Structure 1
Amino acid sequence: MFFNYVLGLRTSLMVTLAAIIALLVDVDDPWWSAMSALTVANADWTNVWRKGMQRVIGTIIGGFSGYWIALMVKNYHFFQWIAVGSLAAFAIYKRMASPNFAYAWLLGSVTAMLAIYASFTQIEGLFLLMVDRTIAVVIGVMTAAVVSYFMNEDSSLAVGIGPYLPPNIDTMDKNWVFALCVSGAAVAVIAPIVYVGHDLAAMVQIIITSLVVLYGPAVSVKKFALNRTLGCFIGGLMGFALIGLGLQSFFWWGLLLAIGLFFLASVHQGDSYWSYAGMQGGYAFVVAALASSGPVDNFNQVIDRLVGVVLGVLISIAVLVVVRIWQGADFPDIEHMNRQRALEAQVKKERP
């Protein structure tokens, strides 16, 4: 089904509560709490716990590691590029090679990269930035965990489903895996150059988009690229509509935030081809709604995020095409896709 209203309601409650708690605690970037709750939201309580702990642990380790790496390379631009490029390639590879801990590897690498990027301009406040980011993530994860615990599959508001099955690196062409990793490293180096002088959060969207898109076989890359672009466009438009109202009442602002999240989360929790667009739309929507830490109209951040997402998709695909041509592959990559289908069929045949 395209919509799952029951799970959409539960996810909307998680994310709205996380956003409100983050505003009350007064973290610098409250949308990180909302995004964390949306990310770990899942119909199965055990998956919420597993994914939530991976996000918290990955953020803590990544923030700590990134902070010290940033201090070591702060005066050496060449090593800064090497560090962010290596972390991007590492994140892409480990997501596919270690599916049980893929989310921890991704969040750890992204947080470490964020620390290095932030050190370009604000090395003095970097430690406090990492602490604030960790607090925001913990708020989101714990809120999602508590709501899930009280609305588990034994209640009338939940239905148990299985976890998402990630791509199997053993069924993928090694040249394709290498191309994904090299492309991710290249985008990590290109992003600060493209977005020089712009807001850090917007520039980071290019990086996050590349790590989302450059994942799995060719069909997955296409799906993630389309879903992320469409989802952020729709969520951004909804965010524009919300902040364009200029609401000063916290109650009505929170109610409209919950209603918008209910729609997007219902799409995300469905099982259609476009379900991932629901999550991406939710990200864009909460960033727009919480850009000013409450019901204040501020369009700049959501515009920067949308531009960063679109640039991230375009740059990632362009770099991947260049790398594949350099490897001698045809474009479109028909030969690789045929080999991928054959490998997947072989694995299914051998699976007991």
Structure 2
Amino acid sequence: MDDITRQALATACGVLAAVFIALLMGLQEPYWAALSVMIIANVDREALFTKGVLRVGGTLIGVLGGYYVGQWAEGFDAMQIVLVAIAAAVGTYGRQRSAYGYAWFYGALTFMLVLLYTMTQPDQLYAFAHYRCYEIVIGVVCGTLASWALGPNAGELHARLKAQAAATSAPNAERQSLIAGLGAFTIVVIWSLFDLPQLPQVLISSLIVVDSDPLATRHRGAQRIFGCIIGGTAGLVVILVDATHLWWWAVMLFLGVFSFARIHLRKSAEAYIGTQSAIAYLVTLVGAGPPVSLYPPVDRLIGIVIGVSIMTVLVWALNPPKLAGRSA
């Protein structure tokens, strides 16, 4: 069995374990545990371990910061929107310039999500912050242990952080961070005016596609929408065949993640389609157990498409063609 297949198998096992642990613990959104397994998946053990540690660290810092700042800013809508925009800009800059950019990005992202709860569901702020920590930690632990047990070079521990070089120059990172901040500001304002579905999914999807290379952002945006359609459609088909049967749901969850993870783990131009297909598949299939309605997963999928579309348009509009050409 080649390394990619072994890691895809480990990823599928990790996702299944994380989902069932989260369900047994009664956590609010088990799909966050599943997403954490998928997002840190990597054939390189050191890269997987690094992403896991930085994801947990960034999440804890973001939760704490968002919780206390959110309480302080509760009721001041304009201030909350500005804080969300600043966090988006800082997280994007840190992601592109820091040796541990993953922690900066997910710290800022979690901060924003917790802060948004003070705008939408302030009475559930503590529960959201509390459960989010558990969901992310469970996903990272399950993904790491599954890789160590079943992935390439099984049994070998690689518990070292792997620093990364800056992805781009400081001026370009500043430009992309300003676009990310403006995009986050625009999305929250549009959401408040038109009552868009699934604001967290809209915001997450928009920021993930912002790349240090403007041309890559356009490419990733198109791949994200395409992958969303593939993964979301596959998930909806599974639901339509038999939405409530636990064994059918679990088996198809495993097979779907395994298949999409094999694409995600390849070093190819289409790898990101596999990443997004897996994310959309998980978001569609994983709720508080097997889905009983099509409405929540469809809402989440709509949120992903809206977020990517808004941010992609801003990147096209605010990155001059000459700059995009030089960044390629």
Corresponding position: 1:299 with 2:294 = yes
Residues 244 and 297, structure 1, Cα contact 8 Å, conserved in 2: no
SS in 1 for 2:127: helix
CA distance in 2, matches of 1:132, 1:156: 31
Partner of 1:340: 327
SS in 1 for 2:123: coil
Shift of 1:193: 3.0
Shift of 1:301: 2.1
Q: Over residues 59-101 of structure 1, what are the superposed CA-to-partner deviations in whole Å (9 max), with x where a residue is unaligned?
A: 1100000111111111222211210010001011110110x31
| Structure 2, gaps ≥5 residues long | 157-161
Shift of 1:12: 1.1
- Residues 247, 191 of structure 1: alpha-carbon distance in 2 compared, 3 angstrom cutoff: same
> What is the TM-score when the length of structure 1 is the normalising length?
0.84
Partner of 1:105: 104
Shift of 1:165: 6.7
Aligned-CA RMSD value: 2.3
One-letter amino acid of the structure 2 residue matched with residue 109 of structure 1 = A
Partner of 2:214: 218
- Of the candidates 264, 282, 288, which is equivalent to residue 278 of structure 2? 282
- Of the candidates 300, 303, 309, which is equivalent to residue 314 of structure 1? 309
Q: Over residues 213-241 of structure 1, what are the superposed CA-to-partner deviations in whole Å (9 max), with x where a residue is unaligned?
A: 21211232123212211111111001101
**Regions of 4+ moved over 4 Å:** 163-167, 197-200
> What is the TM-score when the length of structure 2 is the normalising length?
0.90
CA distance in 2, matches of 1:208, 1:247: 27
- Of the candidates 245, 270, 273, which is equivalent to residue 269 of structure 2? 273
Partner of 2:51: 51
Q: Over residues 117-174 of structure 1, what are the superposed CA-to-partner deviations in whole Å (9 max), with x where a residue is unaligned?
A: 11013223212210101101111011011112223533499xxxxx89776223x7x2
Shift of 1:283: 1.1
SS in 2 for 1:59: helix
SS in 2 for 1:36: helix
1:157-236 equivalent positions in 2, closer than 5 A = 168-170=167-169, 174=171, 176-196=172-192, 198=195, 202-236=198-232
CA distance in 2, matches of 1:258, 1:320: 36
- Residues 198, 245 of structure 1: alpha-carbon distance in 2 compared, 3 angstrom cutoff: farther
Q: Over residues 296-337 of structure 1, what are the superposed CA-to-partner deviations in whole Å (9 max), with x where a residue is unaligned?
A: 33212222222222221221122233334xxxx3xxx1x224
Partner of 1:9: 9
- How many residues matched? 320
Q: Over residues 260-309 of structure 1, what are the superposed CA-to-partner deviations in whole Å (9 max), with x where a residue is unaligned?
A: 11111111111221111111111111111112x22233212222222222
SS in 2 for 1:279: helix
- Residues 85, 156 of structure 1: alpha-carbon distance in 2 compared, 3 angstrom cutoff: closer
Percent of paired sites with the same residue: 27
Q: Over residues 171-208 of structure 1, what are the superposed CA-to-partner deviations in whole Å (9 max), with x where a residue is unaligned?
A: x7x2x4333222211221222333337577x2122211
One-letter amino acid of the structure 2 residue matched with residue 57 of structure 1 = G
- Residues 198, 261 of structure 1: alpha-carbon distance in 2 compared, 3 angstrom cutoff: farther
Partner of 1:141: 140
CA distance in 1, matches of 2:196, 2:302: 11
CA distance in 1, matches of 2:138, 2:247: 21
One-letter amino acid of the structure 1 residue matched with residue 326 of structure 2 = R
- Residues 97, 318 of structure 1: alpha-carbon distance in 2 compared, 3 angstrom cutoff: same
Which structure is larger by alpha-carbon Rg, 1 or 2?
1
- Residues 118, 154 of structure 1: alpha-carbon distance in 2 compared, 3 angstrom cutoff: same
Q: Over residues 32-71 of structure 1, what are the superposed CA-to-partner deviations in whole Å (9 max), with x where a residue is unaligned?
A: 0000111111112222221111111111100000111111
